[in-house]
Amino acid sequence: MSDALISSLSAALGAEHCVAGDGDLSFRGTRPDAVVSPGTTEETADVLRLAAAAGAVVVPWGGGTRQRMGGPLSPAGRPVLALRTTRLNRVLDYTPEDMTISVGAGATMAKFAAAIVPNGQMFPVDVALPGRSTVGGALATAADGPRRLGYGTFRDLFLGVTVVEAGGSIAKAGGMTVKNVSGYDMMKLHLGGLGSLGVIVSANFKLLPTPRAAATIACHFDALPGILAMLDALHASKLVPAACELISAEGGEGFGLCLLTDGLPQAVERHKRDVPKIATQTGARDSQILEGEEHAALWARINDLPQAADLAPDELVFRAACLPSEMVATVGNVLAVAKANGATVTFSARALNGVGYFRLRGEPATLGRAWKSLAETMPAASLVSLGAGSPEAAPSPWGRMPGGLDVMRRLKREFDPANVLNPGRFLV
């Protein structure tokens, strides 16, 4: 990396925020030539401008918990800058009674929550590892949480954004109101865009009131067919659980179907009464009501299951999506393929939404085979993370390709003509 670039970055950010050859960070093998930590939107723009002029590529870096997602970085011989958002971590605008907030992209999800919880408010997207995951990283990877069943995802709550684009242009969209159709909904492109169109520096969200009561009904099933029957019955009922998560039973045989009910105390009581009945009718071995700390601990564990930061060397994590009605079959398919390849599976699936996160462990070679066969057969699947010993040369991390790839390519080239942002990692 050229000394000139380092010295101009140091001049812009202060030497302590521009570290050459930092050994800590790596993206599946590639180490950045320098790690820069801008403290403001303008400094972030300086970094992108200087990077563009010097022909360097930029990898936005939040908490680093999902840096193994996507394809391998392919800088084509260009110097690599890791842009840490850690210092962009302030709450920028928050009037609690408006129930909207603007936060810096580098704030952790835990810090974000800490700002609003004292006001009886919540943000219902339960991202894994909230103490380390940042707002920007969660957005760029379109992280979701179990409560999407009741409250939706970032997609429904992401009101406004400020990004710095390749070349250093600062662009904002949306605003701080809960409804807004002023121009294109640019938030949608940056959400899940893996930082390929711009570096998210701050984001605005809609907040919700903390429910007055909450509880879990954990149902234990021996086999998948009973679960399918229970899901059908729940779907046909007028119950409105906030989450319905199908999980591999801990240590033992069988499966758990965990329902989270929240809202008015009477409504929670109603779910506590009705859900166990449905479970019994559909063949559950037992069901248990969890409240208070037990309830919280269970969901903290479920929320963290998709985590992609700390993996065993022989581990691979992927996300599979399908129509909700296909979720149980998808789980069955993953279990069968894993078994055929001698791999073990732990998983957590948003059973009424059609999204599951699966952790496979086994021999690298067989893991690679299992992933390939799953990626080719499932409606939608993507690798979230690979352990150090996992097959780096895994086939495409994206599974089956969606429609509109040409348009996506044109978008990427329009926004980032020199492929400066996260080259190679996104699917276009």
Partner 1 sequence: MNASALVSELRALVGERGVVVDPDALMTYNADGCVMDTHAPDVVVLPTTTEQIVAVVKLAAKHGIPLLARGAGTGLSGGATPVRGGIVLVTSRMEKVLEIDRRNNRARVQPGIINFELTAILKAQGYHFAADPSSQKACTVGGNIANNSGGPHCIKYGITGSHVLGVQMVLADGSIFWTNDGTPELPGYDLTGITVGSEGTFCVMTECWIKILPLPEATRVVMALFTDILPAAETVSQVIAGGFLPAALEVMDGGALKAVNDAYKMGIPPEADAALIIEVDGVEDGLDDLLAEIIAIAKEKGAIEVRPAKTPEEQVKVWAARKNAFGAMGRLAPTYHLVDTVVPRTKLPAIMRDVKRIAKETGLSIVNVFHAGDGNLHPIVLFDRTNADQSERAHRAVEEVMRLSLEYGGVISGEHGIGIEKQEFMSQLFTEADLAAMAAVHRALDPDDLFNPGKMFPRKFEANDLASERRRVAEAGAGLPALMAKHGDKLWV
Site for partner 1 in 322-361 (CB under 8 A): 322-325, 350, 353-355
Nearest to 350 by CA among 313, 375, 389, 323: 323
CA gap 132, 64 in Å, rounded: 8
Interface segment toward partner 1; rule CB under 8 A; list 126-134, 250-258, 366-374, 397-405: 397-405
CA gap 32, 136 in Å, rounded: 19
CA 158, chain centre distance (Å) = 14
Residue 237 CB, shortest distance to partner 1, in Å, is: 9
Residue located via tokens 């958002």: 85
CA gap 383, 66 in Å, rounded: 11
Residue from 21, 131, 313, 404 touching partner 1 (CB under 8 A): that is 404
Residue 270 CB, shortest distance to partner 1, in Å, is: 4
Contact 248, 255 (CB under 8 A): yes
- Contact between 29 and partner 1 (CB under 8 A)? no
Residue from 10, 30, 210, 366 touching partner 1 (CB under 8 A): that is 210
Identity of the amino acid at 374: L
The pair phi, psi for residue 185, each rounded to 5°, is: -85, 75
Helix (H) / strand (E) element for 331: namely helix 327-340
Site for partner 1 in 145-204 (CB under 8 A): 152-153, 155-156, 163, 165-173, 175-189, 191-193, 197
- Contact between 239 and partner 1 (CB under 8 A)? yes
Nearest to 179 by CA among 95, 94, 100, 91: 100
- Contact between 398 and partner 1 (CB under 8 A)? yes
- Contact between 308 and partner 1 (CB under 8 A)? no
What CA dihedral angle connects 273, 279, 285 and 287, to 10 degrees?
A: -30
Tokens of 367: 């893991």
Tokens of 297: 């601990």
Residue from 38, 146, 387, 423 touching partner 1 (CB under 8 A): that is 423
- Name the residue nearer to partner 1 (CB basis): 340 or 401: 401
- Contact between 402 and partner 1 (CB under 8 A)? yes
- Name the residue nearer to partner 1 (CB basis): 66 or 78: 78
| Sign of torsion over alpha carbons 115, 117, 123, 125 | positive
Contact 105, 163 (CB under 8 A): no
By rule CB under 8 A, what string of x and - marks binding of each residue 110-149 to partner 1?
----------xx--------------------x-x-----
By rule CB under 8 A, what string of x and - marks binding of each residue 91-110 to partner 1?
----xxxxxx----------
- Contact between 10 and partner 1 (CB under 8 A)? no
Residue 58 CB, shortest distance to partner 1, in Å, is: 11
- Name the residue nearer to partner 1 (CB basis): 214 or 420: 420
Residue from 6, 35, 52, 83 touching partner 1 (CB under 8 A): that is 52
CA gap 297, 33 in Å, rounded: 40
> What is the per-residue DSSP string for 70-87?
SSPP--TT--EEEEE-TT
Residue 235 CB, shortest distance to partner 1, in Å, is: 6
- Contact between 4 and partner 1 (CB under 8 A)? no
Residue 253 CB, shortest distance to partner 1, in Å, is: 28
Contacts with partner 1: how many residues (CB under 8 A)? 104
